[in-house]
Amino acid sequence: MLGPMRAFFLMLLMLALVGVACDQRTPLSPKDKLARGDIYSFQNQGAPFCFIYIGLNTNEASHFTAAFTNFAANFGIHKVTQYYRAYSGGPLANYMSDHVAFFVFSIPTTYVVDRYNSHTSSREQFLESGDWKSGLSTHCFWPTNASRITKDGHDELAPNTGCIFMVSYDNQYSSNAFKSLERSVEAAAQTNWPNRAVEAFIYENNKQ
């Protein structure tokens, strides 16, 4: 006969396995997909996207997403709280608005620079196809004057880089509306993180 603790843990394991099976076998509604940051059945190739880079001090990196949460609410952007138990696909957005998905995180600036240097030759190819996913992984759209910070009166590369990547998943959301939101987010980021470069690369489709 199983001991009470062992039986309890076996029950938890069975419930977890059932949850994974449900996620894999039960089709999710569009609303549930978006709640998980899964935009791939909505977002069309050629939709506008933007990459915003912000130089960060070492002690700011771990609080970057929390700081973004504070001002993002002013633009109807909320943090994604629901996740797949099992998932295979493109990266999931961790913030969403009614029209735009956001991938917000911080990484060492040396990593950004290394990826940029390794993939600049692919930049035009990704631009022609509107391939934001490759830009997300390669940082080939990083502006070379980004990720900088003023420290002791000197301008230098910051130890870390905050990344705010935006992509429209709503086919009815115009490029002009997207640009307006991007400018608002960029201005808020500059206010929130003064004395450092906040630089953006924006890709527009032909929808007006």
Average pLDDT over the chain, rounded to an integer: 84
Per DSSP, the residues of 135-173 read: HHHH-TT--TT-SEEEETTEEEE-SEEEEEEEEE--TTS
Structure token pair of residue 113: 């620079």
Would you list the domain boundaries of the chain? 4-203
Q: What local confidence, expressed as pLDDT, does residue 16 receive?
A: 46
> Does the predicted model carry a pTM greater than 0.85?
no
Q: Each residue of 194-205: pLDDT tens digit?
A: 888 999 999 986
Structure tokens that stand for 169 in this block:
């998943």
What order of strands is seen across the sheet that includes strand 160-168? 78-79, 95-96, 100-108, 160-168, 49-56, 198-203
Q: Is residue 208 packed enough to be buried (19+ CB in 10 Å), middle (13-18) or exposed (0-12)? A: exposed
> pLDDT band at residue 15, thresholds of 50, 70 and 90?
very low
Q: Is the confidence at residue 20, as pLDDT, over 60?
A: no
Q: Identity (one letter) of the amino acid at 117?
A: N
C-alpha angle 53-58-59 in degrees, rounded to nearest 5: 110
Stretch 32-47: mean pLDDT, rounded?
A: 83
pLDDT digits (tens, 9 = 90+) for 115-142: 999 998 888 888 888 888 888 899 999 9
- Do the Cβ atoms of 204 and 128 come closer than 8 Å? no
pLDDT at 208 over 50: no
**Region 155-169: what's the mean pLDDT?**
95
Q: Rounded mean pLDDT of 3-10?
A: 49
Counting other chains too, the contacts that 131-136 makes at CB distance below 8 Å and 24 or more residues apart are 131/45, 132/47, 132/49, 132/165, 132/167, 132/203, 133/90, 133/91, 135/49, 135/51, 136/51, 136/91, 136/103, 136/165
More confident residue, 49 or 11: 49
Strands (E), the chain: 49-56, 78-79, 95-96, 100-108, 148-151, 154-157, 160-168, 198-203
168 torsion bin: left (phi>0), alpha (psi -120 to 50), beta (else):
beta
Q: What is the pLDDT of residue 32?
A: 85
CB 103: neighbour CB atoms within 10 A? 18
pLDDT at 9: 45
pLDDT tens digits for range 66-121: 999 999 999 999 999 877 677 777 889 999 999 999 999 999 999 999 999 999 88
